[in-house]
């Protein structure tokens, strides 16, 4: 299974593994079948989830309203939907190698 795929409605589905309490919010590479993202926010009162949604909206150049936390609101493993995305997720990993 890949860390992302597109559904029939052209929504981008991401498998995310989150590490909270990091020094900076950044993409850290792959973690199994998930994209690992380090978040500076703490997992208190949903702050980490909000930070994740904002971070992904900015990285994928979409409004926050198009980034949906579908599953994993209290877990490190999350399923994120980015509605109607034409962005190539592989570009995120290529940025890490530069």
DSSP assignment of the chain equals --SEEE-TTS-EEEEEEEE-S-SS-EEEEEETTEEEEE-SS-SSTTHHHHHHHHHHHHHTT--GGGEEEEE-TTSSEEEEEETT----THHHHHHHH-
33: containing domain = 4-71+80-97
38: domain CATH number is 3.30.1200.10
Q: How many domains does the chain have?
A: 1
pLDDT over threshold 60, residue 98: no
The pTM score is 0.91
Question: pLDDT band for position 89 (50/70/90)?
Answer: confident
Instruction: Give the tens place of pLDDT for each residue, 19-77.
Output: 999 999 999 999 999 999 999 999 999 999 999 999 999 998 899 999 999 999 999 99
């Amino acid at each position: 299974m890949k860390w992302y795929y597109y559904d029939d409605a052209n929504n981008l589905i991401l498998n995310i593994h989150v590490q909270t309490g990091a020094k900076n919010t950044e993409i850290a590479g792959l973690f199994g079948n998930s994209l690992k993202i380090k978040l500076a926010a703490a997992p208190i009162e949903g702050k980490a989830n909000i930070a994740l949604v904002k971070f992904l909206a900015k990285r994928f150049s979409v409004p926050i309203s198009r980034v949906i936390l579908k599953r994993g609101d209290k877990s490190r493993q999350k399923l994120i939907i980015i509605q109607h995305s034409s962005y190539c997720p592989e570009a995120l990993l290529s940025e890490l190698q530069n």
